[in-house]
Structure 1
Amino acid sequence: MKHKSYLPYLLVLPALAVLVAVLYPFLTGAWWSFTSYRLNRGGPEFNWGKNYVSLFTTGEGLHAVGITLLYAVVVVVIECVVGVALAMLLNYGRYGNVFRLLIVLPLLLPPVVAALMWKVMLTENGIVNWLLESAGQPKMLWLNGPDSALLSVILIDVWIFTPFVVLLAQAGLKSVPKELTEASAVDGAGPIRNFISVTLPMLLPVLIVIIAFRGIDSLKMFDIIYTTTKGGPVDATTNLHVLAYLDGIRNLNFGMAMASLIVLWLLCNVLSSFLLKARRREVMA
């Protein structure tokens, strides 16, 4: 009679433990999103999805969804354009290695520390307004103005994470054969046409990875926004993640907070699924 080995089952136990540790909080939160669960008013009571209806019918909820999408789109576009441009300059410039060290410095700072640094510099009497006054320009309410707060936070994000795009884009540019660009130049293609017809198609797989990382990170952005503006002034920079924090931690409305986070999770999954399909088609081509 053969002795039955339990080793395979023991090896699976850590994976099962991780699965339970992930699934249980997620399923609990998903259940709460369909309830009127307030910590100061007893246990969760099923409300037939009123939290989601409220999120997409009230001005506060729609505004948070709009800010989430706008922030992600603008940040990804600016970082990709600026990052690829800088990567090309570093790739073909004489002092690329020296400037690369300077460009990646923002990545060495934790986002919260970098955000606090910019918050100090963008105060009314900070160094940025001092430079504006020195140039004969009026001061600006960078983080305190309803019209400028979102732009200021976006620029802080761009400053922090564009080096990440530069590094990945430069790695992608290294894989572009010089023979192709030289042959295109011999055929009479200028720098712009050379980039569009040769470099960009070769760089597309790397760009998909960049958009995936930065897109998902921007959709769920919290630390930079909350550190600099706390979602204000008024609600000018309140995205879904900040709204969930305000509902859950400040107002103790766990049901509404989880509804915001589930919608945010769905947005991240839609983006990742779309980019995975695009990546798969690119590999198959």
Structure 2
Amino acid sequence: MKHKASLPYLLVLPGLAVLVAIMYPFLTGVAWSFTSYRLSRGAPEINGGKNFLVLFSSGDGWHAILVTLLYAVGVVAVELTLGILIALALNHGRYGSVFRIIVVLPLLMPPVIAALMWKVMLTENGVTNWLIEALGGTGSLWFNGPDTALLSVMLVDVWLYTPFVVLLMQAALKSVPPELREASAVDGAGNVRHFFAITVPMITPVLVVVVAFRGIDSLKMFDVIYTTTKGGPVDATTNLHVLAYLDGIRNLNFGASMAALVVLWAICYALSFLLLKARRKEISA
């Protein structure tokens, strides 16, 4: 009988082991964020919350947080808008199946390769400036300009990940019963009113998923930014993830690096919590 009573607890052990294996590196990083751990100085020494005080009291720290938030809000807003518009066009277009294949092609390309491709095209003497000047316009510095670098990196992100939003939005739009469109048309509702009054409420669960996935990915973006600008020029594109890399890998200051990553984790967690809370409130309403 004792063996039968202990069996449920034994079945939990594999899942518990996986949880411990996942949490151990995370908790180690959190512990390091409260130390002055530098690889050149040996064992870490506890310094309380000094790393967080330095991060929040310095202009570099707040600038990295601002860049992180601006980047995430900007790319998610553009990708969501373009994704919905393209999904609507593909669903109602005659050649939707053909264009659907073309639209998803950027998803097949690794982000680093895509970033390198755009870096070559957006150089000062690259093909993009050549086309603009051939049409009578003025070329831009793109990744090399302090005022244009962040927008240029966001352009690469939008090109890469809008297809992901398109795929999810297409699936969501196909789940809306066509009878509702017919009923709204009978009531005199136009396309715009039908979209905001019927379609948007019905695809809200997918919208929440898209914002969560793309929001968190954008908040912790590193590969596209570092491949194209390395956080520059100066610090125009230095977000929290790039700042953590520069502190930890270049300066060997693991304590400051982990502090930046803990703040980044807190922002991602807050976004997930707010989205889930809003979704639960909507379900219970």
- Report 1:102-141 matches (<5 A): 102-141=102-141
- Aligned-partner SS, 2:3: coil
Give runs of aligned pairs for residues 11-160 of structure 1, distance below 5 A.
11-160=11-160
Q: Which residue of 1 aligns with 2:175?
A: 175
> What TM-score, normalized to structure 1?
0.95
Structure 1 gaps of 5+ residues are: none
Q: Deviations over 1:77-114 (max 9, x none)?
A: 10001100110111111111111100000001111111
Structure 2 portions without partners, runs of 5+? none
- Using the TM superposition, give the Cα deviation of residue 14 of structure 1 relative to its aligned residue in structure 2, in angstroms: 3.2
1:282 aligns with 2:282: yes
**Counterpart residue type for residue 92 of structure 1:** H
In 2, are the aligned partners of 1:146 and 1:234 still within 8 Å (CA)? Answer: yes
State the AA in 2 paired with 1:88.
L
CA distance in 2 between counterparts of 1:97 and 1:273 reads 37
Q: Determine helix, strand or coil for the equivalent of 2:44.
A: coil
Q: For residue 12 of structure 1, report the CA deviation from its aligned partner.
A: 4.0
Matched, 1:192 2:186: no
Tell me the distance in 2 between the aligned counterparts of 1:200 and 1:23: 38
Q: Report the RMSD for the aligned CA atoms in angstroms.
A: 1.5
TM-score, reference length from structure 2:
0.95
- CA distance in 2 between counterparts of 1:3 and 1:186 reads 68
| Contact preservation (8 Å) 1:38, 1:253 | yes
Distance 1:3 1:20 in 2: 27
Aligned residue pairs total 284
CA deviation after TM superposition for structure 1 residue 7, in Å: 6.7
% identity of equivalent residues: 69
SS in 2 for 1:46: coil
The one-letter code of the counterpart of 2:140 is M
Indicate how the Cα distance of structure 1 residues 9 and 197 shifts in structure 2: closer, same or farther if over 3 A, else same.
closer
SS of the aligned residue for 2:36 comes to coil
Give the Cα separation in 1 of the matches to 2:88 and 2:136: 35
What secondary structure, in the 3-state scheme, does the structure 1 residue paired with 2:235 have? coil
**8 Å Cα contact 1:33/1:51 also seen in 2:** yes
Deviation at 1:118, TM superposition (A): 0.7
- The one-letter amino acid paired with 2:41 is R
Instruction: Tell me how far 1:8 sits from its aligned partner.
Output: 5.7
* Mapped partners of 1:54, 1:181: distance in 2: 56
Which amino acid in structure 2 is aligned with residue 126 of structure 1? G
The answer as to whether partners of 1:65 and 1:239 remain within 8 angstroms in 2 is yes
